[in-house]
Amino acid sequence: MSGVRLLCLSYLGLLAAYHTHAETTIAVPSAEKNRPAAAAEPRITFNLVHVDGPYIAMTFDDGPSATLTPKLLDLLAAHHIKATFFVIGENVAEHSEIVERAAHEGHEIGNHSWSHPNFAKMSDEGVRRELRRTEDAIKSAIGARPTLLRPPYGSLTARQKRWIHDEFGYQIILWDVDPLDWKRPGPAVVRNRILKETRPGSIVLSHDIHPGTIEAMPRTFDQLEAKGFKFVTVSELIRMARPEPSKERAKVPAANDTPQPTSTISLPSPSG
Ligand SMILES: [Zn+2]
């Protein structure tokens, strides 16, 4: 076997480990052996991303808000931080100039539905209408279509994920850090929760429609920066994805040590 082919196969193995997390042995079916690594099935859903550096993605949902989002944009600009906004179509239609500004300043805009319903309880046609209408509103605001979807409440069935990805090309973005800011626990609690839970590759969920969240951000950003974190958009974070370290693959799990693949976690939660 040539070195190049060996390298290619090991890469496939790494990719497979990356996609499944829970797998301990990598079996490459014989028919697949000659396939280039790039043909591996792309991952659709992300709670967090395995990266080599101290990179994280701050995400802000449910806006734009006429007053709070511009305030947040000023703050992000002062810190040279790029964030990702999962916007509600209804709000985009009302304040398209804010979405335009966010995109112009380098932030990413993702689809978060038209009216924030629970997709898991809706018909395909209803979901399709919500997504299409919001996509059109974003496109007319920023001149480009979104490539990311965060379903409201993080609620989406496995079947919906597949057809939405096939039809819209969206990557489904959940989160691993949730300060529960929608309960309005106060800026200090929001900040402390984010600081405690954030690690390299984290996708941090917050909402730019709550005053306390915006109040929490100056010190949150200061302290995340002091810890050495670097801020990128969700799509940038995904482009930095690295296979899981090899020790993960070699690890033999105990009977009750069977981590769920992050790609299938989509528990409905009051957040998002
Ligand atoms: Zn939401």
Q: Global pTM? A: 0.79
| Catalytic residue flag (residue 104) | no
Active-site entry in 95, 107, 116, 207: 207
Residue 209 Cα to ligand 1 middle (Å) = 10
Rounded mean pLDDT of 169-180? 98
Winning range, highest mean pLDDT, from 19-28, 34-43, 256-265: 34-43
Residue 86 Cα to ligand 1 middle (Å) = 8
Band of residue 244 on the pLDDT scale cut at 50, 70, 90: confident
| Residue 268 domain-assigned (yes or no) | no
Q: What is the CATH number of the domain that holds 227?
A: 3.20.20.370
How many domains, in total, are found in the chain? 1
- Residue span of the structural domain in which 64 resides: 55-239
Determine the Cα–Cα distance for residues 160 and 147; give it in Å rounded to an integer. 16
Contact present, 170 and 147 (Cβ < 8 Å):
yes
Mean pLDDT of the chain, nearest integer = 84
pLDDT at residue 270 in the model: 58
pLDDT at residue 169 in the model: 98
Band of residue 41 on the pLDDT scale cut at 50, 70, 90: low
| Residue 245 domain-assigned (yes or no) | no
The answer to which of 40-44, 67-71, 247-251 has the lowest mean pLDDT is: 247-251
* Cα–Cα nearest to 58, from 110, 119, 134: 110
Amino acid at 34: N
| Residue 9 domain-assigned (yes or no) | no
Examine the pLDDT at 256 and tell me if it is beyond 60: no
Active-site entry in 61, 62, 181, 208: 61
Residue-wise pLDDT for 48-102, tens only, equals 999 999 999 999 999 999 999 999 999 999 999 999 999 999 999 999 999 999 9
Band of residue 21 on the pLDDT scale cut at 50, 70, 90: very low
| Residue 61 domain-assigned (yes or no) | yes
| Residue 212 domain-assigned (yes or no) | yes
Band of residue 42 on the pLDDT scale cut at 50, 70, 90: confident
Rounded mean pLDDT of 33-53? 74
Residue 62 Cα to ligand 1 middle (Å) = 5
Residue 116 Cα to ligand 1 middle (Å) = 6
Band of residue 272 on the pLDDT scale cut at 50, 70, 90: confident
| Residue 256 domain-assigned (yes or no) | no
pLDDT at residue 265 in the model: 38
In order, the DSSP letters of the chain are --HHHHHHHHHHHHHHHHHHSS-SS----GGGTTS-GGGSPPP-EESB---SSSEEEEEEES---TTHHHHHHHHHHHHT---EEEE-HHHHHH-HHHHHHHHHTT-EEEE--SS---GGGS-HHHHHHHHHHHHHHHHHHHSS---EE--GGG---HHHHHHHHHHH-PEEE--SB---GGG---HHHHHHHHHHH--TTBEEEEETT-HHHHHHHHHHHHHHHHTT-EE--HHHHHHT--PPPHHHHH----TT--PPPGGG-----S--
Rounded mean pLDDT of 221-231? 98
| Residue 213 domain-assigned (yes or no) | yes
Percent of the chain with pLDDT over 70: 75
| Residue 41 domain-assigned (yes or no) | no
Residue-wise pLDDT for 208-222, tens only, equals 999 999 999 999 999
Examine the pLDDT at 32 and tell me if it is beyond 50: no
pLDDT at residue 48 in the model: 97
Residue 77 Cα to ligand 1 middle (Å) = 23
What are the beta bridge partners of residue 177? 204
Determine the Cα–Cα distance for residues 41 and 53; give it in Å rounded to an integer. 25
Cα 79 to the center of its chain, rounded Å? 21
Rounded mean pLDDT of 194-220? 98
Residue 271 Cα to ligand 1 middle (Å) = 7
CA angle 183, 70, 46 (to 5 degrees): 55
| Catalytic residue flag (residue 52) | no
- Residue 205, φ and ψ in degrees, nearest 5: -95, 130
